[in-house]
Structure 1
Amino acid sequence: MSGTGTAPFAFAPGVTAAVDVLAREQPDAPAVIEVGDRPRTLSWAELKAEADRVSAVLLDLGVQPGESVAFQLPNWAECVTVTLGVLQIGAVVAPIMPVFGEREVAMVLARAKARVLVLPRSFRKRHHAEELAAVVREAAASGRTLLVEHVLVIGDTDPSGAPRAGAAPADSSQSGVERGRSAHFGTSEPTLQAWEWHDFDAATAAAHAEPAAIAARRPSETDVAQLLFTSGTTGEPKGVQHAHRSLDLATAMEVAHLGLTTDDRIYIPSPLAHQTGFLYGLLLSWQLGVASVVQPIWDPKVALRQAFGGAHASFVQAATPFLMDVVEAVEGGETQPSSLRIFVATGAAVPRELAERATRVLDTAVCGAFGTTETCLGTLSAPSDPPGSAWGTDGRPLDGIRIRIVDDEGTELPAGREGNYELLSPTLFLGYLDRPDLTAEVFTPDGWYKTGDLGIVDTDGFLHVTGRVKDVINRGGEKIPVVEIENLLFTHPRVKDVAIVAMPDPRLGERACAFVVTADGQEPLGFTEMQEFLAAARVSKYYWPERLEAIEALPRNPVGKIQKNLLRERVAALLAAENDSTALESTEA
């Protein structure tokens, strides 16, 4: 349960160049292990060779330094080769979440000004190549200009003939290229007809990689590496730009903080299109020089049996739903993951009861952390911290990072006082794409990043995030400690998940509504029972939720964050409907 290997050796000029070193010095060692329906392993030499062929294709298509290359790929091994192929020639990765539909895809393609798009023919009952017709229509309807010239389609089977994980069964003699270009669309979409369509496997197989040409395009540490669009739960997503240096440094800081070594293997259940999977999964594995274990389709049994049981993954950073599912699977009889030594819980607030339970059930260190797409990780606990601080807080600042809690006037507050959480870090982003105005809004006059979160720093220096500023419930001038009440309700045996949001109130401004997911095999928690539970816990009645709504599942974005904006809209609509019904009854009376 502990790492005994050596610390990673330093790479220059960055972690992408590390693959060159590893391909020469450890050519046969595993670099990528794909688990699931299509188990596949790439050695460092194979990863480098495949990435070089991707780079050659992109260079032939005229991709320039600093140009964004978009791809909408699941966690296949091919996503890793595309990522490296883009980065090592100085282009910018612009990943698109696999679950995104035409609206989001059109937005990313237009705003990234992507000329080249890589996507699967199909994945999980969707036909992405064919869906580009709807993307084009969405772009036209929303006034967006698409600059796409080339589409590389990854087929349902790989060159060995093995079906790719999640790909649809073959239903046509036509390839994804043929279906995308003509058969499915006909002539009604002239934009699509003008694009050049390429079979990814055929193009990379025919490519002639010139090592000198690829080496000549090696990026510098200040070049843009990544364009990642935020989840956009409160408005249109913003394009976050990171340089190679900030990403390289962020992974090195986590390695040092947690004491990761070359004995570790990095498990990546989070989408590679999200910062958690991309940075604290893939790039972290390159920083360490160890294998990454990727899983295209989430299934806790596959994770336990293949990622941990077979591939012996020892580290994972992922959001609450992943942790919850693995814990429940082990409690349901699956084998405990003996290789797992550290689980860093990020992406969404982790109920403290779940974190403590996971520590016991999985027999591993569960570490709290807090970061954003813009900042990378700012705080992180460590296995050596006292257990209650390791999983019961959001960690301490990593070396080189400063944090502070300030009031609304910007005055720094002492330990134990709640206020606005800000940080100063060498891993900050370069800015929002084409939006210097929005970039300026998130920084204080003295250069600190405003996270938009509320928090407390305790006397030991650990951060406790208490909620989002926009999620605060102001009941008649008194703020309700949302996270504290959520954590408490989560401990009720009949509650599987819970979220508390504000509902409008004409007298007090806002009141609290609890949305509760019932635990498996249990009866739904009643409103009176909730009140009795909170009373027994000696919670001030002022803080009790004043409405309870049972819900099958909390709405979450693709990386596990609860979309409280949707819950607020839902309860507001319920109240409006009830008020309309009451008004109608009064009129009839």
Structure 2
Amino acid sequence: MTDGFDLAAHASAMRAAGWWQDKTFDDLLEAAIARSPDKRAVVAYRKDRGFDRPARVMTYAELGDAVAQAAGSLRALGVGPGDIVGLMLPNWWEFVVAAFAVCRIGAVPNPLMHIFRERELRFMLGFAGTRAILIPKGFRGHDFPAMIDRLKPELPALEHVIVVDDDGPRSFDRLIMNSGAAPVPADRGTPADPGEMAILMYTSGTTGEPKGVMHCFNTQVACVTALGNRFGLTADDVHFAVAPFGHMTGYTAMMVQAIHCGGTLVLQDIWEPEAGVDIMVREGATHMAAATPFLSDICTVIAHGGPVPGLRTFLCGGAQIPPVVIERARDMMKLGVSSLWGMSESLAGSLTEPERAQEKSATTDGRAVEGVELLIADENLTPLPQGQTGRLWFRGAQQFLGYYKRPGLDGRGPEGWFDTGDLAYMDPEGYIRINGRSKDIVIRGGENIPVVEIESILYRHPRVTDAAVVGYPDKRMGERACAFLVLADDGPFTMDDLRAWMEASGAARQYWPEAVEVIKTMPRNASGKIQKFLLKEQAARHAAG
């Protein structure tokens, strides 16, 4: 029970409805191997090996063998059911092998973004009691072994540090792939019950306080099944994965999705747009899931004479998609871009189907996917009229199990509704539009400022490439609004410029931001969501003394 939420009853209902299939990752992998053992499963590109050719290509049979060997090696190290294993690797083939191997022996993978440093890892590894961690020897100029060695005295549970690309005693090759331990095939594995925790993923921290989100095999398989059905994905699809595996978009919507479909997973570890487009064309990529900046970059490459990839479907989440980007993708690639709303706790809550993408993706964040219910209501769960903004509540087959070591803190009631913290409204066809965050709302003089609408107006300025509006304290008005802008050029952008644009837009004067900051890049988390708590800290300097 969690705040009145009965997880056992929820699980029973999801199974009865057919949304929970009780399949493990081994079931997905073994099915793919049985269908096409010689088919390419993973094609991995690494910048340090040159993007002109793959660093590693694995068939499904080879992937299966590698997972069995890795599982045997981890078991020989003493890693077993319930142990937390940190996966702090870029999008390399070693991540894929390790993730499936960890699951095979009943341990719990904890994907970690490779951008994390001591401050984040001290909490995350310590809180989870992480037993083992896989890290690169170096990536983007950072020395990961030295960082973990500095932290290790503070992490008594951390027994094993396994280093990819190392040639010493802690090397991945020596400890995992060539340990001499007996392989563990799927029929000798001990995976978690499909309804128990099978991944620990920390929230991405737009509010500054990450929590450990627990998902099981059933919730993840429900996610990829729903997405696959709406996109019409088959074994013929080639999935281009540049969204990091340290986040749910990369981990579930790309890595797990590709294996679930029995398709080919193509990896690029560092996003370089020109190289990425070349790889997509070379490998025949048909499906991609990533944030808006990736799609914008692809369009820019094509606009400058680059080749046109044959993408058939594109899942775009993390932030609203500017209409101009959707139009460019349609005109340049004949590609319908599908908007998505999701979060670590809900996985994929809503999605615009490809056939409605041109019509709906610029103005909505999709409609509920299979096995999911969405509700717009007030804080007491009283439904609100169509078109009215309220809290977005979520429940269904992809709902998380709870927060790790924090029972009772997930805010679910007896009916299972989860308060997402997002504000949204719903149109007559059931498509939702995220209209802000309940914690990010700016209240000026007792009036709510429509933050998302103001951001959209600013985004349309020809010099603005990114925009965010946050509040800062004011003794008289309670709050005032500050606009943070990223520009396409190096020129100034003054309050006079902002006022002129807002006046031309026709927006009510009381909604105009009263401060403006020009910044080089917008602080975003791995899913592309703007970390507004950081902007709020910066905006606070505009507050009167």
Task: Give TM-score scaled by structure 1 length.
Answer: 0.84
Does residue 260 of the first structure (1) align with residue 270 of the second (2)?
A: no
Residue 429 of structure 1 is matched in structure 2 by 400
**Which residue in the other structure is 1:309 paired with?**
281
The one-letter amino acid paired with 2:496 is T
2:479 aligns to what SS in structure 1?
Answer: strand
Superposition pairs for residues 21-32 of structure 1, below 5 Å?
21-32=31-42
Is 1:113 matched up with 2:129? yes
Q: For 1:446 and 1:282, how far apart are their aligned partners in 2?
A: 32
Matched, 1:419 2:403: no
Whole-Å separation in 2 of the counterparts to 1:356 and 1:408 = 37
One-letter code aligned to 1:377: A
* Larger Rg, first or second structure (1 or 2): 1
Distance 1:386 1:93, change over 3 A: closer
Amino acid at match of 2:268: Q
Q: What is the CA–CA distance in structure 2 between the aligned matches of 1:504 and 1:353, rounded to whole Å? A: 34
State yes or no: 1:236 paired with 2:209.
yes
Alpha-carbon offset, residue 445 of structure 1: 4.2
2:28 pairs with one of 2, 18, 21: 18
- The count of aligned residue pairs is 519
- Would the aligned equivalents of 1:89 and 1:214 in 2 still touch at CA under 8 Å? no
**Aligned-residue RMSD, C-alpha:** 2.0
Q: Does residue 566 of the first structure (1) align with residue 538 of the second (2)?
A: no
Hey, what does 2:514 align to over in structure 1? 546
Q: Which of 272, 285, 301 is the matching residue for 1:329?
A: 301
Residue 467 of structure 1: aligned partner: 436
The alpha-carbon deviation at position 574 of structure 1 amounts to 4.5
Cα drift, residue 134 of structure 1:
2.7
In the other structure, the counterpart of 2:369 is 398
Provide the C-alpha distance between the structure 2 equivalents of 1:81 and 1:500, rounded to a whole number of angstroms.
Answer: 42
Which residue of structure 2 lines up, in the alignment, with residue 342 of structure 1? 313
Could you tell me whether the CA contact under 8 Å between 2:71 and 2:105 is conserved in 1? yes
Q: Which amino acid aligns with 1:449?
A: F
Is residue 2:259 matched to residue 1:286? yes
Offset, 1:486: 1.0
Trace 1:93-112 onto structure 2 (pairs within 5 A).
93-112=109-128
User: What is the match of residue 369 of structure 1?
Assistant: 340
Q: Could you tell me which of 198, 201, 215 is aligned with 1:225?
A: 198
Separation in structure 2 between the aligned mates of residue 134 and residue 504 of structure 1, nearest angstrom: 39
Structure 1 residues 12 and 270, CA, compared in 2 at 3 Å: closer, same or farther? Answer: same
Structure 1 partner of 2:103: 87
Contact in 1 for aligned 2:72/2:184 (Cα 8 Å): no
Secondary structure of 1:514's match?
strand
Q: Which amino acid aligns with 1:73?
A: L
Could you give the per-residue CA deviations for residues 87-115 of structure 1, whole angstroms, max 9, x where no partner exists?
12221111211110012122222122122
Q: Distance in 1 between matches of 2:84 and 2:363?
A: 40
C-alpha change, 1:360 and 1:543, in structure 2 (3 Å) is farther
| Cα distance, 1:252 vs structure 2 | 0.5
Structure 1 letter corresponding to 2:24: G
The percentage of aligned residue pairs carrying the same residue is: 36
Deviates more, 1:490-499 or 1:108-117: 108-117
Which ranges of structure 2 fall in alignment gaps of 5 or more residues? Answer: 1-19
Q: Which moved more, 1:547-556 or 1:384-393?
A: 384-393
What SS does structure 2 have at the residue aligned with 1:347?
A: coil
Q: Distance in 1 between matches of 2:526 and 2:361?
A: 26
- Residue 201 in structure 1 maps to residue 165 in structure 2: no
1:318 aligns with 2:290: yes
Cα 1:18–1:464 shift into 2, 3 Å: same
What is the rounded CA distance, in whole Å, between the counterparts of 1:472 and 1:216 in structure 2? 48
Query: More deviation in 11-20 or 217-226?
Result: 11-20
Q: Which moved more, 1:23-32 or 1:222-231?
A: 23-32
Task: Give the CA deviation at 1:386.
Answer: 5.8
- Is the contact made by 2:104 and 2:186 (CA closer than 8 Å) also made in structure 1? no
Matched, 1:247 2:257: no
**Distance in 2, Cα, partners of 1:305 & 1:531:** 43
For residues 550 and 364 of structure 1, what CA distance do their matches in structure 2 show? Answer: 33
Q: Which residue of 474, 481, 485 corresponds with 1:505?
A: 474
- Aligned AA for 2:136? P
Q: Distance in 1 between matches of 2:474 and 2:301?
A: 41
Give CA-to-partner distance per residue, 1:148-171, whole Å, 9 cap, x none: 112211125xxxxxxxxxxxxxxx
Please identify, of 25-34 and 13-22, the stretch whose mean Cα deviation from structure 2 is larger: 13-22
Q: Which amino acid is 2:360 matched to?
A: S
Which of 113, 123, 126 is residue 142 of structure 2 equivalent to?
126
Higher RCO (C-alpha under 8 Å, 6+ residues apart): 2
1: CA distance between counterparts of 2:435 and 2:41? 39
In the alignment, which residue of structure 2 is the partner of 1:185? none
Equivalent residues of 1:12, 1:18 under 8 A apart: no
2:378 is the counterpart of 1:407: yes
2:254–2:288 contact (8 Å) kept in structure 1: yes
CA distance in 1, matches of 2:541, 2:274: 38
Instruction: Report the Cα distance in structure 2 between the residues aligned to 1:54 and 1:98, rounded to whole angstroms.
Output: 21
Note closer, same or farther for the CA distance 1:63–1:427 as it changes in structure 2 (3 Å cut): same
What is the alpha-carbon distance in structure 2 between the residues aligned to residue 477 and residue 575 of structure 1? Answer: 17
CA–CA separation in structure 2 for the residues paired with 1:213 and 1:467: 45
Q: Is 2:339–2:361's contact at 8 Å kept on the other side of the alignment?
A: yes
How has the CA–CA distance of structure 1 residues 288 and 11 changed in structure 2, closer, same or farther, with 3 Å as cutoff?
farther
Cα distance in structure 1, aligned partners of 2:429 and 2:35 = 43
Conserved 8 A contact 1:241-1:431? yes
Give the secondary structure class of the aligned counterpart of 2:356. Answer: coil
Classify 1:462/1:531 alpha carbon distance in 2 versus 1 (closer, same or farther; 3 Å).
same
For 1:540 and 1:213, the matched residues in 2 are separated by 62
CA-CA distance at 1:214 after TM superposition: 5.8
Could you tell me how far apart the structure 1 residues matched to 2:268 and 2:73 are? 26
Are the equivalent residues in 1 in contact too, given 2:69–2:184 (CA < 8 A)? no
Where does residue 489 of structure 1 map in the other structure? 458
Once residues 277 and 156 of structure 2 are traced to their aligned partners in structure 1, the CA distance between those partners, rounded to angstroms, is 42
Post-superposition Cα deviations, 1:354-398, rounded to whole Å, max 9, x if no partner, equal: 333333344311111101101111110011116231332100011
Shift of 1:12: 7.1
Q: Which residue of 2 aligns with 1:151?
A: 161
Q: Residue 5 of structure 2 corresponds to which residue in structure 1?
A: none
What SS does the corresponding residue of 2:397 show, helix, strand or coil? coil
| SS of structure 1 residue aligned to 2:138 | coil
